[in-house]
């Protein structure tokens, strides 16, 4: 039996990961600060499902070192899977200090505890670290010195800081660069979610760069497989891309949603926003070799599962009480 601390457990990826860990016979314990970046009721809903599955989740911020140390003292954690972060690209233009607080200060505070207890550390990075890199597909050896926005910069900083801790204290570290993760229970601030909402509500959707954008969309179950595989492999310091390794054009992406929802989208084409990447595309050869990572879900299949979940969720009594419209923008990370 392995004891794993999952930070950001009420979040989209953390929630799915905790269920996977439980199914594999691991003992997952989650923490999350339940912040209101997007509708808290969705986080609470996920947490209720985790509790029903006998997975403990505590309302703790990663900056609350004393509380986290207490958890370490009470549980003999074999690994920390650190997913808690201030996510989202566009929100970093509006609330930069939230990124500093969670992604930088909180990150180092957590590493100080990990150092004290000498625990394996697996953490979420992002395709955003590739920033202005133009070489396609993105390889983990590519230059990541040109982040296109603050979110990407904090993720890049995480990687450098983690390496420094590995170098100084020999803590095993694995960095996982996720590529646009989507699926049921997903994030309301991301494009697939807000597009679906707007199509159903007859509201226009913004297609930046006149729809000429491509993303490497990765289905949640595939991501969770990759994270799970990394637990045993975490020894030195390694960086992996976890992406589907297939790019999808945004206009085609909308067509799939239209088909699934049986409704036409109202498209609002506009110029590229500063700070956005035009294309993401993961080179996953290293992840295939070391993590046996083989994403299986096509965009058509994955979006079918997502739209089905979305329609069921919003037509049920569990409905989220009003997604925060300010932040339900077409954000893709």
| Residue ranges binding ligand NAD (CB under 6 A) | 7-8, 10-14, 32-35, 43, 61-63, 83-87, 102, 106, 124, 126, 178, 180-181, 187, 333
Least distance (Å) between residue 191 CB and ligand NAD: 10
CA distance 88 to 152: 9
Asked if 237 and 166 count as a contact pair (C-beta separation under 8 A), the reply is: yes
Q: Compare residues 27 and 128 and give the one whose CB is closer to ligand NAD.
A: 128
Q: How far is CA 60 from CA 57, 84, 186, 215, in A?
A: 9, 11, 22, 33
Asked if 126 and 152 count as a contact pair (C-beta separation under 8 A), the reply is: yes
Dmax over Cα atoms in the chain, in whole Å? 56
Least distance (Å) between residue 107 CB and ligand NAD: 9
Q: Which residues pair with 240 in a beta bridge?
A: 176
State the residue number with the nearest CB to ligand NAD. 11
Which of the 8 DSSP states describes residue 128? G
Q: Which residue bears the tokens 């085609």?
A: 252
Q: Compare residues 256 and 332 and give the one whose CB is closer to ligand NAD.
A: 332
Least distance (Å) between residue 209 CB and ligand NAD: 19
Q: Compare residues 10 and 21 and give the one whose CB is closer to ligand NAD.
A: 10
- Rounded to 5 degrees, what are φ and ψ at 117? -100, 0
Of 151, 166, 182, 219, which one is the catalytic site residue? 151
Q: Which residues pair with 282 in a beta bridge?
A: 138
CA distance 256 to 300: 7
Q: Tell me whether strands 218-219 and 181-182 are parallel, antiparallel or unpaired.
A: parallel
Active site residue 151: yes
Asked if 183 and 221 count as a contact pair (C-beta separation under 8 A), the reply is: yes
- DSSP letters of 161-208? HHHHHHHHH---EEEEEE--EE-TT--TTBHHHHHHHHHHTT-EEEEG
Least distance (Å) between residue 227 CB and ligand NAD: 10
Q: Compare residues 35 and 212 and give the one whose CB is closer to ligand NAD.
A: 35
Least distance (Å) between residue 264 CB and ligand NAD: 26
CA atoms 71, 73, 75, 78: torsion sign: positive
Least distance (Å) between residue 206 CB and ligand NAD: 18
Least distance (Å) between residue 193 CB and ligand NAD: 10
Q: Compare residues 12 and 208 and give the one whose CB is closer to ligand NAD.
A: 12
Q: Which residues pair with 26 in a beta bridge?
A: none
Q: Compare residues 75 and 263 and give the one whose CB is closer to ligand NAD.
A: 75
Q: Compare residues 146 and 263 and give the one whose CB is closer to ligand NAD.
A: 146
Q: Which residue bears the tokens 């509006």?
A: 94
3-state secondary structure of 156: helix
Tokens of 38: 């997007």
Side-chain half-sphere CA neighbours of 131 within 13 A: 17
Catalytic residue list: 151
């Amino acid at each position: 039996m392995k004891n794993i601390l999952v930070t950001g457990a009420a979040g989209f990826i953390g929630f799915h990961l905790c269920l996977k860990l439980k199914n594999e016979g691991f003992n997952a314990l989650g923490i999350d600060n339940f912040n209101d970046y997007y509708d808290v009721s969705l986080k609470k809903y996920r947490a209720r499902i985790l509790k029903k599955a006998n997975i403990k989740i505590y309302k703790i911020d990663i900056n609350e070192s004393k509380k986290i140390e207490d958890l370490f003292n009470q549980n003999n954690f074999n690994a920390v899977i650190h997913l808690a972060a201030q996510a989202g690209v566009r929100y970093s233009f509006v609330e930069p200090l939230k990124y500093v607080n969670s992604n930088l200060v909180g990150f180092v505070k957590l590493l100080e505890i990990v150092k004290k207890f000498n625990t394996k550390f697996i953490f979420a990075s992002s395709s955003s670290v590739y920033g202005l890199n133009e070489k396609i597909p993105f390889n983990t050896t590519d230059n990541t010195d040109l982040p296109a926005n603050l979110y990407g910069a904090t993720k890049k900083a995480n990687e450098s800081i983690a390496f420094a801790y590995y170098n100084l204290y020999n803590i095993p570290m694995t960095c996982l660069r996720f590529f646009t993760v989507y699926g049921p229970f997903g994030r309301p601030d991301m494009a697939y979610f807000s597009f679906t909402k707007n199509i159903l509500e007859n509201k226009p959707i913004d297609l930046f760069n006149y729809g000429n954008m491509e993303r490497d969309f990765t289905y949640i179950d595939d991501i969770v497989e990759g994270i799970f595989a990394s637990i045993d492999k975490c020894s030195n310091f390694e960086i992996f891309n976890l992406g589907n390794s297939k790019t999808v054009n945004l206009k085609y992406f909308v067509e799939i949603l239209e088909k699934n929802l049986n409704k036409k989208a109202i498209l609002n084409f506009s110029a590229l926003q500063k700070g956005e990447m035009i294309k993401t595309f993961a080179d996953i050869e290293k992840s295939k070799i070391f993590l046996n990572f083989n994403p299986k879900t096509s965009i058509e299949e994955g979006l079918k599962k997502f739209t089905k979940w979305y329609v069921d969720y919003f037509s049920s009594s569990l409905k989220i009480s009003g997604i925060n419209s300010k932040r339900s923008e077409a954000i893709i990370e």
